[in-house]
Structure 1
Amino acid sequence: MTTRLNHAAAAPKVIQAMMALEKASRSQGLEPPLLELVKTRASQINRCAFCLDMHTREARAAGETEERLTMLAAWEEATCYTPRERAALSWTESLTLLAATGAPDSAYAAMAAEFSPEEQVALTLAIVTINGWNRFAVGFRAEPARAAT
């Protein structure tokens, strides 16, 4: 894979705006391990190697186990996730695959049962943000940090 464009160097103000979204999504009180599961799952769906590399490392640093990271691609069948995590992962998939899912009422109801209204907005912002990052990294073929070493 060859990097197409260094998007951060090409448009630093755009990346500053994305970083502001990232900072906002991290500062809304949601648990860091939950956020890393959401970011990793969206990155799996979007096939973003750069973000998978980053967020699996950050998940481990936040205390996530190898078993749970390995099982994430099959979270619906796995028993190692809490109801809150399962609701967040369902909402993540619904919004990441929006054209196919239409954000079904069942996914919203599960998420609303586990998250306060403020948390629902914060979770949705986190999903919006990681999907944006995935599109930059996949679109411009950003190279994962571990691949560069």
Structure 2
Amino acid sequence: MSDERRVHLSKAAPAAYQALDAFAKTVGAIAADAGIDDRLREIVQLHASQLNGCAYCVRVHVERAVKAGLDADVIAQIATWRESGVFTERERAALELTEAITFIHEEGVPDAVYDHVGGILTEAEYVALGWIIVSINSFNRITIAGRLPVPPRA
């Protein structure tokens, strides 16, 4: 492990980080208004963090997922959701959307994904989940860029 010094964007420009935090709170209100419960929100945020390789955010969202009522089996199945039968159709649509938006540089959100997800989620749910995914991807990038450590549990 390198001891090289990294600039932490959140510490170097706290006003920008506070604005992002305020944005995340706004997104949370949009999600609540759209009927996105804590379980679905944490499934999406955890999966985006896994896809981005953000160990720090994975830890944060595992803890929040447990508080939202997810058990170890469901949390473990998120990474293999396509092969797993533990998720509802709505959760599977949200996971598919998470992948499309997180990897947006590859194909954008393909029409097939948009149509499939749009056939399951309401427009309000789609919009809310889209903003949740944008928000967590932002936090993932800040954390990864600064290499925030994930120490072993005591």
TM-score (norm 1): 0.92
Q: Deviations over 1:88-107 (max 9, x none)?
A: 00000001011123211121
Amino acid at match of 2:90: R
RMSD, aligned CA:
1.6
Cα distance change, pair 47–90 in 1 and its aligned pair in 2 (3 A): same
Identical-residue share of aligned pairs (%)? 34
The answer for unaligned runs of 5 or more in structure 2 is none
Are 1:41 and 1:73, in contact at CA under 8 Å, matched by a contact in 2?
Answer: yes
- Counting matched residue pairs gives 148
| Counterpart for residue 10 of structure 1 | 12
* Aligned counterparts of 2:152 and 2:146: Cα–Cα separation in 1: 16
Structure 1 runs (4+) greater than 3 angstroms displaced: 146-149
2:131 matched to 1:125? yes
Are 2:39 and 2:65, in contact at CA under 8 Å, matched by a contact in 1?
Answer: yes
| Counterpart for residue 114 of structure 1 | 120
Measure how far apart 1:15 and its partner are: 0.6
2:94 matched to 1:88? yes
2:62 matched to 1:60? no
Amino acid at match of 1:110: H
Q: Deviations over 1:8-30 (max 9, x none)?
A: 22111111111012101211221
* Aligned counterparts of 2:37 and 2:20: Cα–Cα separation in 1: 21
Measure how far apart 1:148 and its partner are: 7.5
Please give the secondary structure, in 1, of the residue aligned with 2:119. helix
Q: Deviations over 1:87-143 (max 9, x none)?
A: 000000001011123211121122212222122111100000000000000011012
Cα distance change, pair 79–148 in 1 and its aligned pair in 2 (3 A): closer
Are 2:10 and 2:142, in contact at CA under 8 Å, matched by a contact in 1?
Answer: no
Are 1:39 and 1:130, in contact at CA under 8 Å, matched by a contact in 2?
Answer: yes
Amino acid at match of 2:91: E
Greater Cα offset, 107-116 or 15-24: 107-116
| Counterpart for residue 101 of structure 1 | 107
The answer for unaligned runs of 5 or more in structure 1 is none
Amino acid at match of 1:86: R
Q: Which structure would you say has the larger RCO, counting Cα contacts within 8 Å and 6 or more residues apart?
A: 1
Please give the secondary structure, in 1, of the residue aligned with 2:83. coil
* Aligned counterparts of 1:11 and 1:148: Cα–Cα separation in 2: 29
| Counterpart for residue 50 of structure 2 | 44
Amino acid at match of 1:27: A
| Counterpart for residue 19 of structure 1 | 21
